[in-house]
Chain A
């Protein structure tokens, strides 16, 4: 079965081709079914492969599909790697991907770009699968760029709206900055090791100087920063919410943004060797987590809150990576994929019910009207807040426990982030589902539960969010931590936890108490005192205003990077472009023109003259042949 791994990315590609070429001629139902079925087929195959891999002794299978690049010393086969890490990601991508495809058939039903949407979505799944399946950095890079492209296409899906297009461009440019780092990292890997296949590189990693490894690790991390929205390249992700909500759920919460984490887990040996790189990852992660969580406190757009929450959670995962808790981070990726996809889809359902309204100030009291959405979203919210025994609790707790062991300051920051998370997600819930309805009469009249195609994925994801924690039960509960055991072969240098059970218990209790306290705070503010967030023009305290405006990061980037670049470009345009480049191009043109008008005279139309020229030409050619 593992030999058939090539089929897993092939199915979405076929779906993409069919929808891409014939989508316009097919009915909406058919194109939705083709797209969903192609992902379902991949999912089924992924499950079979996953089961087979679990049962087999050999945990790492390399399947060579064909020889890709073969040029001198640069030999790159197109190989797919099946190991516990990639097979787990396969399940996440195809599983959640399938649910979101099903959801989209309902959510996008009235959109004119229906088949185009599924075309992009299938293409995205294809590239994402390539990204995680490749056995070398180049295939990963192809997938990496491909998902970036699909992300761009899907953010700007409603391309008639200029703001959405700008958001798409912003995402693309930000990603490109990170990609440059990634590409440089790959080149450095090739120069250092003479190969880019994982197994060959990781075997030789110990023999290279630490400073080189640090360089590689940092360059790769720059790539991860772009893709996984870490400071300073995170600003694209909140803007990416311009895309349709299923896209936000699939690409900007569950899968694509975790590519950076996948990449670092894959290259874990580099970060184990280089402490500098690992510390950088941890610090960037925790700062991003805290920073985004504070911004999330005062946002009013339901999707923006979730976007900042995603940035924040990704920061937590990077914190885990930085402190060496690779399997915990992958665990958190998994659970996060469940509950964040659930929250986004739930938000989509709410938006659907509200007829396109995204501002939580205009919602309220929806719990009775859209029961399934409410219940499932509530479960997702509890999961992300980290209350036991929901999934988020276990994964977050593992990361925080490892952090505590590594560095107390990082732990405190992580703890605060986790508490803020609980606050803003419950703020979202209270404002949306409780209290009185604050929208217009038409909206109130329009309120309705979403169709089954949308509620079914919500229910499945809700169940997963609740029980997903079973994948990695803490070891000191004397339960098997399946996640850690499973990933054992992938993590090359392990650092087992040395915390005593008492410490772990107390950490756990502190976390739960913290979360419960902030949830109560949210309850007190938004439920008991019925406080509604201020409107745009209202006066706010300075700090709140700063945070509400996202610390003015976009404005700062604008002033520090964009404006000087504009001025520089303008100067270059005036001097370099017009004078030198244009001068050169026009000069060549003028020279050719002048030469042409001279040579034109030779074309007399007289055959005799032509023949004489030809003979003389032949003479010269012969002369050259004999002389050289």
Chain B
């Protein structure tokens, strides 16, 4: 098909979709819509992970981000009753400045890419490093200690958010 492989077609479509959904996150007026578009973006990114042969990460990504984090967002928005289309907006001047600043940054980043040569390290198509077995080995041998620390971090976050979120006892 037009000289592109299926992978390349998939990559193009997923990239287009993720960028579109990303833009929708920023531009939609209703916060609930923003959340939903962000979930879609995350699905697209998970698709990218699959394309990169990282099945484990793709699943974790969907579970953690789309499943847990975004639900949390949705939950908080509902809690605050922000499901409305008329929330206050920034002035146009600020938005234009923000757009220019973002454009400048994109310009610089892309400009920096322009000079670099195309990395032509050909991979053997089916890399095995993204499998659960492989990642598990690395995670529980080389990164065992950071892994344990991460669990403590999560515990701390748990305790912290409860402490912050609870009503003060008067």
Q: Point out residues on A near B: beta carbons under 8 Å.
A: 608-609, 612, 615-616, 618-619, 622-623, 626
Contact = CB atoms under 8 A, between A and B. Distances in A.
Given A608-B90, A608-B94, A622 B108 contact: yes
Contacts of A618: 105
A456 B108 CA distance: 88
A609 B108 CA distance: 21
Contact of B109 (A608, A609, A612, A622): A622
Contacts of A616: 101, 104
Contacts of A608: 90, 94, 98
A612 B101 contact: yes
The SS class assigned to the A binding surface is: helix
Interface in B95-127: 97-98, 101-102, 104-105, 108-109, 111-112
B102 A615 contact: yes
26 contacts: A608-B90, A608-B94, A608-B98, A609-B94, A612-B94, A612-B97, A612-B98, A612-B101, A615-B101, A615-B102, A615-B105, A616-B101, A616-B104, A618-B105, A619-B101, A619-B104, A619-B105, A619-B108, A622-B105, A622-B108, A622-B109, A622-B112, A623-B108, A626-B108, A626-B111, A626-B112
Contacts of B105: 615, 618-619, 622
Contacts of B112: 622, 626
A623 B112 CA distance: 9
A606 to B, nearest CB: 9
A615 B109 CA distance: 12
Nearest to A606: B94
Given A615-B101, A618-B105, A622-B109, 11 more contacts: A608-B90, A608-B98, A609-B94, A612-B94, A612-B97, A615-B102, A616-B101, A622-B105, A622-B108, A622-B112, A626-B112
Nearest to B90: A608
A415 to B, nearest CB: 88
A481 B17 CA distance: 106
Contacts of A619: 101, 104-105, 108
Contacts of A622: 105, 108-109, 112
Nearest to B106: A619
Nearest to A617: B101
A612 B93 CA distance: 12
The SS class assigned to the B binding surface is: helix
A616 B99 CA distance: 11
A622 B101 CA distance: 13
A514 to B, nearest CB: 91
Contacts of B97: 612
A432 B112 CA distance: 96
Contacts of A623: 108
Nearest to A614: B101
Nearest to B111: A626
A171 B98 CA distance: 70
A616 B90 CA distance: 19
A622 B113 CA distance: 12
Contacts of A626: 108, 111-112
Contacts of B109: 622
Interface string B58-84: 000000000000000000000000000
A616 B111 CA distance: 16
A315 B23 CA distance: 94
B97, B108, B109, B111 pick with most chain A CB within 10 angstroms: B108
Interface in B5-26: none
A618 B112 CA distance: 14
A216 B112 CA distance: 62
Nearest to B107: A619
Contacts of B102: 615
A241 to B, nearest CB: 71
A542 B27 CA distance: 106
A609 B94 CA distance: 8
A608 B98 CA distance: 9
A616 B108 CA distance: 11
B103 to A, nearest CB: 10
A626 B110 CA distance: 12
A608 B112 CA distance: 27
Contacts of B90: 608
A608 B94 CA distance: 9
A612 B101 CA distance: 7
Contacts of A615: 101-102, 105
A619 B105 CA distance: 5
Nearest to B109: A622
Contacts of A609: 94
B108 to A, nearest CB: 5
Contacts of B98: 608, 612
A619 B90 CA distance: 23
Nearest to B98: A612
A618 B98 CA distance: 14
A622 B110 CA distance: 11
A618 B97 CA distance: 15
Contacts of B104: 616, 619
A622 B97 CA distance: 19
Nearest to B101: A615
B37 to A, nearest CB: 21
Nearest to A626: B112
B91 to A, nearest CB: 10
Contacts of B94: 608-609, 612
Contacts of B111: 626
A118 B55 CA distance: 79
Interface in B28-73: none
Nearest to A621: B108
A623 B108 CA distance: 7
A623 B111 CA distance: 9
Nearest to B112: A626
B90, B102, B104, B109 pick with most chain A CB within 10 angstroms: B104
A105 B158 CA distance: 70
A611 B80 CA distance: 25
B16 to A, nearest CB: 25
A619 B110 CA distance: 12
A407 B57 CA distance: 101
A10 to B, nearest CB: 46
Nearest to B103: A619
A616 B105 CA distance: 8
Nearest to B97: A612
A612 B94 CA distance: 9
B88 to A, nearest CB: 12
A153 to B, nearest CB: 55
B32 to A, nearest CB: 22
Nearest to A609: B94
B96 to A, nearest CB: 11
A622 B111 CA distance: 10
A622 B109 CA distance: 8
Nearest to B108: A622
A628 to B, nearest CB: 13
